[in-house]
Amino acid sequence: MQGTAKALPGAAHGPKVRARRESGLSIPTLWVTAAWRPRKERGSQPGTPGSEGGSGALSGKSFNSSRKGVPGGTGLGSRTQGGWGPGPGRVLLQVQAPGRGRGPRAGPAWEPGLRPLHPPALGSHARPLGYAQAPPRQIRLRSVPPPPARVYLPCRRRRSRRCWTRRPAPSHRPAARDWLSAVQSEGPERGRAFPAGAPEAGAPGCACAVRAAGLVPAELRSWAVVGQAWSVGSGSAAATGWGAACRMPEIRVTPLGAGQDVGRSCILVSIGGKNVMLDCGMHMGFNDDRRFPDFSYITRNGRLTDFLDCVIISHFHLDHCGALPYFSEMVGYDGPIYMTHPTQAICPILLEDYRKIAVDKKGEANFFTSQMIKDCMKKVVAVHLHQTVQVDDELEIKAYYAGHVLGAAMFQIKVGSESVVYTGDYNMTPDRHLGAAWIDKCRPNLLITESTYATTIRDSKRCRERDFLKKVHETVERGGKVLIPVFALGRAQELCILLETFWERVNLKAPIYFSTGLTEKANHYYKLFITWTNQKIRKTFVQRNMFEFKHIKAFDRAFADNPGPMVVFATPGMLHAGQSLQIFRKWAGNEKNMVIMPGYCVQGTVGHKILSGQRKLEMEGRQVLEVKMQVEYMSFSAHADAKGIMQLVGQAEPESVLLVHGEAKKMEFLKQKIEQEFRVNCYMPANGETVTLPTSPSIPVGISLGLLKREMAQGLLPSAKKPRLLHGTLIMKDSSFQLVSSEQALKELGLAEHQLRFTCRVHLHDSRKEQETAARVYSHLKSVLKDHCVQHLPDGSVTVESILIQAAAHSEDPGTKVLLVSWTYQDEELGSYLTSLLKKGLPQAPS
């Protein structure tokens, strides 16, 4: 229950929300689930009987209609199609509508069937308006399986607001299979509608996060629209009035992969009502269902296109794009996929490579086909660095250089004034062929950063390079042969540059070979995308293209038997098939030779076996291959180290940080460091866990230039001690918000000003003539009110600013004079002060 307790304080500021766990209460209750809602109107889609009302109520448009359509007390059930509904073991939230008060607008659509438990505290028009008080910024993660019910609020946007459901997050990241089956076992509930007033028991230990803004009175909610109006444009609020409009400013992030893990990067981000999927990778360590992210998390039966606004791929490594054809063609997604030009060029080649290995070599069925890769790439939209891409009217993305591999990019995702930066993999120190990642001070609400080397502080890459060169050099010197199994793109080029420059410097004569045509082709990509490499290569490419290698020549099968030393780069990288395996077999028997594995090897491959120390390999045909050659492993992936990550956080100045793509233990260390150093919250959700981050975007309105200029004319900076107030009237009309001076507001609305004037009679004992009294009043006020303009007018009256004071004789008592003090409502303070001042009498005349 601690989750409930957490949620309540936040909710307490807004409308009343109570969480109950008992079942069978007679009080009407409201079921609200955090289901992903489809982007398009789903009203026409068939749903299972009884569930339609519930799910419909969640989607924006039908939300209004649910006022009539939903029978009394019908809450929001689970979505029909695969969304998460509350099931057994979930907290039942009882949400009380605060009533609509006496506001001029109709109450929220939630009202039917919702009986207030408490009388509303205030009429809606007396209530301050604004976003419902955001709950304290906190990560709301559930630690124990049954998924918490969450209240999501109706959101009137042009399209319905979608959220993804919370799915039971496996506490220890169980195998996807188990996870899936766990999901399936809960399947029936998901499709069930929950009748009103029939809440089910919730198990203890559930966290629940309650967002209650949907229940605020109509006017209050208009502000949610205000926040959005800037980007929403016309028509949203106008069409349905304020009442229906509500948007909770919050950002939600759920990693489907790469949460406290490396591999299968796939992160869902919901920001400003937009859903974006960051990366779509495969896991190198699995060969079953677990290798791809579980996209059914997003929707079970619905179309992904309806749930996602766009997909962004950060770079071409398979753990970031490997599941893309599966995702877009087999699961089905037709929306835009964004990536940089080099990624778009290289990604299909690696996918094809991967497919060939999986299908042709391992004989996997039900894998994506070449055609699917092609079809998938047709959905790709290429982006330039720093280009602001408008995905739609509200959602924009922007790519920054990440330096991890050719074309690697970090992405800023922005809706209105809220933004998230996703780094993908990046490298903060320029390496042999790429530059360093860079981002401007974009101050995102959230920075999602990789943390592969979260605990590595110094740059160990140089050492690894030196190590590598030393080993190669030694082997070649003693006449041995070096085999470097690589994948065609990425690391291969880096190692080639490394060897090429080394060969040049040390003047070595041993030949270096490249095994396949593909790699040569790959080099060509680097030549054509030279603008993406580092400064040095770019500057010198006309004289010497770094990717035109002098010492590295194409390999021929016959060369393997040549005597003498040589270095061969051969594909594929895990020694599981093809040329690299052939060469390996030939050379394995000689202890003078060496194989260097520059990357990760999947279990079951020859590469993995030799790396795990196996020296006798069983090959096909019951042959046993004895490995006498030296086996070395060297990781050459270019990631930012802890220092680099901190540097990037410092550059971007985010409000909070979220770690992905790293090991939990290392993340923990970095998390603490970030929280200490930058005093921002740092999260590290596991796969399937959702981080919710409330945001409080300020509301952009138009201020009339006249009003602004008038204010600015009075001095640019209000002094800290005595702030000067700007007064104006905010006119909210349709979706436009204009702040104008009060006079202008009256004028624009065609209203006349109503003048309220007060005249007070102050009796003074003074037997002198009226004129003299007036003169005395004048000199008195003049001496007291030094900061004010006090004038003695020729007609005998005295003015203080615009307050008029006249002295008159008392009709009955000649010894008394009556001072008539007259002021308008706008001068009330001063007028009231003057009367009290005058009441005290005048100082004795010096006469």
Partner 1 sequence: MQCAQIQINHHYVGLWTGHDFHPQFPSFATCSKELKECSGHVFVDSVPEFCLPETELIDLSTVDVILISNYHCMMALPYITEHTGFTGTVYATEPTVQIGRLLMEELVNFIERVPKAQSASLWKNKDIQRLLPSPLKDAVEVSTWRRCYTMQEVNSALSKIQLVGYSQKIELFGAVQVTPLSSGYALGSSNWIIQSHYEKVSYVSGSSLLTTHPQPMDQASLKNSDVLVLTGLTQIPTANPDGMVGEFCSNLALTVRNGGNVLVPCYPSGVIYDLLECLYQYIDSAGLSNIPFYFISPVANSSLEFSQIFAEWLCHNKQTKVYLPEPPFPHAELIQTNKLRHYPSIHGDFSNDFRQPCVVFTGHPSLRFGDVVHFMELWGKSSLNTVIFTEPDFSYLEALAPYQPLAMKCIYCPIDTRLNFIQVSKLLKEVQPLHVVCPEQYTQPPPAQSHRMDLMIDCQPPAMSYRRAEVLALPFKRLFEKIEIMPELADSLVPMEIKPGISLATVSAVLHTKDNKHVLQPPPRPAPPTSGKKRKRASEDIPDCKVLKPLLSGSIPVEQFVQTLEKHGFSDVKVEDTAKGHIVLLQEAETLIQIEEDSTHIICDNDEMLRVRLRDLVLKFLQKF
Bridge-based pairing of strands 681-683 and 691-694 is unpaired
Is residue 425 involved in binding partner 1 (CB under 8 A)?
no
**Computed from CA positions of residues 454, 459, 465, 470, in that sequence, does the dihedral angle turn out positive or negative?**
negative
Is residue 746 involved in binding partner 1 (CB under 8 A)?
yes
CA 569 to CA 821: how far, in whole Å?
Answer: 99
The interface with partner 1 within residues 777-796 (CB under 8 A) comprises: 784-785, 787-788
* From 200, 394, 396, 450, active-site residue: 450
Helices 642-652, 664-678: axis angle to 10 degrees equals 40
Which window, 63-71, 294-302, 565-573, 693-701, contacts partner 1 (CB under 8 A)?
693-701
CA 18 to CA 96: how far, in whole Å?
Answer: 7
Which window, 106-114, 465-473, 620-628, 818-826, contacts partner 1 (CB under 8 A)?
818-826
The pair of three-digit structure tokens given for residue 702, joined into one six-digit string: 């138009």
How many beta carbons lie within 10 A of that of residue 160, not counting itself?
A: 23
Over the Cα atoms of the chain, what is R_g? 36
Minimum separation from the CB atom of position 70 to partner 1 (A): 27
Minimum separation from the CB atom of position 3 to partner 1 (A): 25
Which window, 283-291, 329-337, 561-569, 711-719, contacts partner 1 (CB under 8 A)?
711-719
The interface with partner 1 within residues 392-411 (CB under 8 A) comprises: 398
Is residue 619 involved in binding partner 1 (CB under 8 A)?
no
Looking up tokens 């955001």 gives 134
Minimum separation from the CB atom of position 762 to partner 1 (A): 5
The pair of three-digit structure tokens given for residue 405, joined into one six-digit string: 């591999």
The pair of three-digit structure tokens given for residue 151, joined into one six-digit string: 């209240």
Q: Which is nearer to partner 1, 365 or 542 (CB)?
A: 542
Is residue 745 involved in binding partner 1 (CB under 8 A)?
yes
Which window, 83-91, 449-457, 507-515, 714-722, contacts partner 1 (CB under 8 A)?
714-722
Minimum separation from the CB atom of position 788 to partner 1 (A): 7
Is residue 371 involved in binding partner 1 (CB under 8 A)?
no
Closest CA to 231 of 735, 818, 796: 735
- The order of strands in the sheet holding 552-554 is 552-554, 512-514, 566-570, 481-485, 594-597, 630-633
- Residue from the set 471, 763, 768, 782 that interacts with partner 1 by CB under 8 A: 763
Q: Which is nearer to partner 1, 392 or 801 (CB)?
A: 801
Verify whether residue 494 is a known catalytic residue: no
Closest CA to 534 of 407, 432, 437, 435: 435
Complete DSSP assignment for 69-80: HS-TT------S
Exposure b/e, 618-651, CB count within 10 A at least 16 = b: eeeeeeebebebbbbebbbbbbbbbebbbbbbeb
Q: Which is nearer to partner 1, 365 or 789 (CB)?
A: 789
The interface with partner 1 within residues 46-105 (CB under 8 A) comprises: 104-105
Is residue 762 involved in binding partner 1 (CB under 8 A)?
yes
The 511-540 contact track toward partner 1, x by CB under 8 A, reads ----------x--xx-xxxxx---------
Decide if 53 contacts 70 (C-beta within 8 A). Answer: yes
CA 486 to CA 76: how far, in whole Å?
Answer: 53
Decide if 164 contacts 34 (C-beta within 8 A). Answer: yes
Site size for partner 1, by CB under 8 A?
A: 107
Q: Which of helix, strand or coil describes residue 286? A: coil
Neighbouring-strand partners of residue 817: 764, 809
Q: Which of helix, strand or coil describes residue 84? A: coil
The 641-680 contact track toward partner 1, x by CB under 8 A, reads ----------------------------------------
Q: Which is nearer to partner 1, 230 or 678 (CB)?
A: 230
The interface with partner 1 within residues 324-353 (CB under 8 A) comprises: 341, 344-345
Minimum separation from the CB atom of position 371 to partner 1 (A): 17
The 205-234 contact track toward partner 1, x by CB under 8 A, reads --------------x--xx--xx-------
Q: Which of helix, strand or coil describes residue 647? A: helix
- Residue from the set 577, 739, 775, 842 that interacts with partner 1 by CB under 8 A: 739
Minimum separation from the CB atom of position 131 to partner 1 (A): 6
Which amino acids are annotated catalytic?
A: 450
